[in-house]
Structure 1
Amino acid sequence: MSSESEPRPSSDLRPHRVVVLALDGLLPFELGIPHRIFGRPKDARGRHLYEVVTCSIRPPGPVRTDADFAIQVEHGPEALATADTVIVPASYELGPVFEEGVLTAELAAALAHIRPGTRLASICTGVYVLAAAGRLDGRPATTHWADAERFQRLFPRVEVDADVLFIDDGDVLTSAGVAAGIDLCLHMVRRDHGTAIANDVARRTVVPPHRDGGQAQYIHRPVPDPQQSSTTNARAWALGRLHEPIQLRDMADQEAMSVRTFTRRFREEAGISPGQWLTQQRVERARHLLESTDLSVDQVARDAGFGTAQSMRQHLQAALGVTPTAYRRTFRRSAGVRAA
C-alpha cells in the first residue's frame, strides 16, 4: 500500500531537478529508469518539467557497474546540493552499508550535501543507503521481497512492508526490486503533475501506468495448472462496470468458479483480494474524472462506483491523503501540461 501527499510546487523558472546517485556496482537498468521516466514530461510550451543529473560520491570519472562495462559520470557529490529529489538505485558493492548497516565515510560525506527538505527515493537495495543514513527510522519502507527479511534484521527501527511495489511516505519514497523503480518514478510524476501526464509517460515507455497488486505476485510459488482458468475475464468484466454494484459472486461467475476458488486464484495472480482491487480501480477512475471533467463530486462518486460523495471522500483520503475537492484543485492546474 502507498500513501500520497500534496505535490511539491514546481518552479516557473526552472525544471524540478532529479539527481541520481551512481554507486559502484550499480545496476545499469535501474540507473536508466529515472532518466527515462523523468526525461519525458514537458509543459504546454514544450519545456521539460524535470532535469535529471547523475552524480558520483567521488569527483567526475568512471563508476563500476555489475555488468562488463563502467559508466562515465560527469558530476561529483556537490550535485546533490542542487537536487529537489535524490534517487538512490541499487548497488551490489555497498560494503559496510549492506553488511553492517553503516555508511562509509566517503558516502556519508557525499550525503551531507543534500539540503533539508529534499525529496529522497530509493530503488530496490538503494534503500540500505537511506536506512544507514538514518532517514528511515520509525518510517515505513520497502525493498526487494528477497531482501526484506535481512533488511529488517539490520534496521529494526524501519517499518518494513515487503508486500508492496513502493511506499510513498511524503518526503521519502522507497520501491521494491528492479522494475518496481518504474512504478515508483511514474508515481512521483503522477503526484507532481497528475494522472494524465504519468499515463502519457507510461504509454510512451510501453509500460502499464499502474500495476495491480504488490510483490506477492512475483514471489516464487508453484505454477498453476495451465488448464485452469485465470481471473483475467472477471477483471475485464468488472472494469466495464465500475459504476455498478459488483459482488464477489458476480466476478466469480465470470470465470465459472466458486467464490472460494476465485478469491484464492485472484490473490495468486494479482497479489491482493478482489475487494482491494476493485477499490484501487475505482480510486483511479475517480482521479481521472476529477482531473479531466467538470462533473460534480457527487456524479464522480456515482460514475466511479463509490455511490456517495462521502464514501468516495473516505476512500480517496485513505489512498491519497487528500479530499476529492483538494485533489481536483491541485491537478486541474496541470491540465495544460503534456509529455513528449
Structure 2
Amino acid sequence: MLSVAALALDGVMTFDLACAVQAFRHGPGKTGEPVGFDLRTCGVRPGPVWTPNGFELHVEHGLELLAEADLIVVPGIGLPTLPAPEPALDALRAASARGATIASICIGAFVLAQAGLLDDRPATTHWAYCDEFAALFPAVKLDPGALYIDDGDILTSAGLSAGLDLCLHIVRRELGAAAAADLARWNVVPPHREGGQAQYIPQLMGGADPGGGLATTLSWAVANLDKARDVAALAAHALMSERTFIRRFKAEVGTTPRAWLDAQRVGRARELLERTESPVETVAQRSGFGGVTALRDHLRAATGLTPSAYRRSLRH
C-alpha cells in the first residue's frame, strides 16, 4: 500500500478533494475497496475544516500525516492568493526534502508555489488563475495549456476535473494502465484525455462550431483502432475534408489527430500487454500499430521500455 495524505486547509475545494478520494480511497467495483493506496485526510490540526461549498468537513488527523505519507495531495482553496498557514508550508517543505511525492489539484498549485516547491520547475493550474499565478510566482515555469504536469516528485493539474486526470495518471504510473482503466470505467471518465486545457478556455474556442462535435468519430476510432489508420480515415468517418477535420479536431480536442491516435494506441497496447498473453505481433495489430516496429518505437517513447520488457516489469 502506498500511503496517501490529502491536505484539507480551510477553504478547501471539496471537488478537488473528492478527486483524490475517488482515485485513492474508493477503488473500482461495487465494494469500493481501494487497490494499492491508503488515503487519509488531514488538516493543520484535527477537527473542523471550513469549505466554501456550504458545509464543513471534519478531519481526524493533523500535519503529522505529512511526515510519513508517500504521496501528498494538495487540493485548491477558495481564495488561492491568500497566504497558506505557515505550519502547513513547513510540513510540505519537510515532506519534499525527505523524498515524498507531492501533487496539487487545480489552484492547489498556489500552495506548493508559496512553499517554494515549484521554483524553476514546470507547473500548471486552472486557466482562469494563470495570470495571477504568473504574477505572484515568476520563478515557476508555468504552462497554462497543460491538463497536468508530471515532474517526477512534483505533479500539478489544471482546474477541477483535470485533478481526476492527474490522479488517474498517478494510478497508471504506480500500478499500470489496466488499473487506471478499471478506475476510469468505474468513474465513467476516459482513462486518458489527450490535449490540454486550451480546449476549455473560452477565448480560444471562438472558431469551434457549438452545434458540432467529433464525439461519434472519436468513439468509433477508440473501438476500431485497427481501422482508424490515419487522419484520412478519421476525416472520412466524420464526413469532412482532411483540412476541415484537422482544424475542428484541434479546436475541440486541443491536440493533433495523429498525436491523439498515437496516445490511444499506446494505451490499448499497454492494457493488452498487461492483461493478455497475446504475442507482441497480435498486440501491435489489435492496438492499430500494424507492426511490431511501430509499437516498439511508440511504447519506448511513452514508457522507456520495449513491449517484452514492459510486460515483464508488470509481472514482476
In structure 2, relative to structure 1, the CA distance for the partners of 1:165 and 1:292 (3 Å cut) is: same
The 2-side partners of 1:47 and 1:232 are apart by 31
> Does residue 261 of the first structure (1) align with residue 248 of the second (2)?
no
| Larger displacement relative to structure 2 (250-259 or 78-87) | 250-259
The 1-side partners of 2:35 and 2:227 are apart by 40
Equivalent runs, 1:110-259 vs 2, <5 Å: 110-114=91-95, 116-220=98-202, 221-222=205-206, 224-225=208-209, 229-244=212-227, 246-259=229-242
> Does residue 106 of the first structure (1) align with residue 90 of the second (2)?
no
Compare relative contact order (CA 8 Å, sep 6+) and give the higher one, 1 or 2.
1
TM value normalised by structure 2: 0.88
In structure 2, relative to structure 1, the CA distance for the partners of 1:204 and 1:324 (3 Å cut) is: same
1:81 aligned partner: 67
Q: Shift in Å at residue 281 of structure 1? A: 0.8
The 1-side partners of 2:35 and 2:238 are apart by 46
Unaligned runs of 5+ in 1: 1-14, 98-102, 334-340
The 2-side partners of 1:69 and 1:236 are apart by 38
| Larger displacement relative to structure 2 (128-137 or 244-253) | 244-253
Does the aligned pair in 2 maintain the 1:41–1:50 contact within 8 Å? no
By percentage of residues, which structure has more helix? 2
Q: What letter corresponds to residue 131 of structure 1 in structure 2? A: A
The 2-side partners of 1:164 and 1:95 are apart by 21
Fraction of identical pairs, as percent: 47
Unaligned runs of 5+ in 2: none
> Does residue 279 of the first structure (1) align with residue 262 of the second (2)?
yes
Deviations 1:88-115 (A, max 9, x none): 0000244554xxxxx6533333324526
| Larger displacement relative to structure 2 (19-28 or 157-166) | 157-166
Matched pairs, number: 309
Secondary structure in structure 1 of the residue aligned to 2:309: helix
Q: Shift in Å at residue 296 of structure 1? A: 3.3
Name which of 17, 23, 26 aligns with 2:9. Answer: 23
Secondary structure in structure 2 of the residue aligned to 1:246: coil
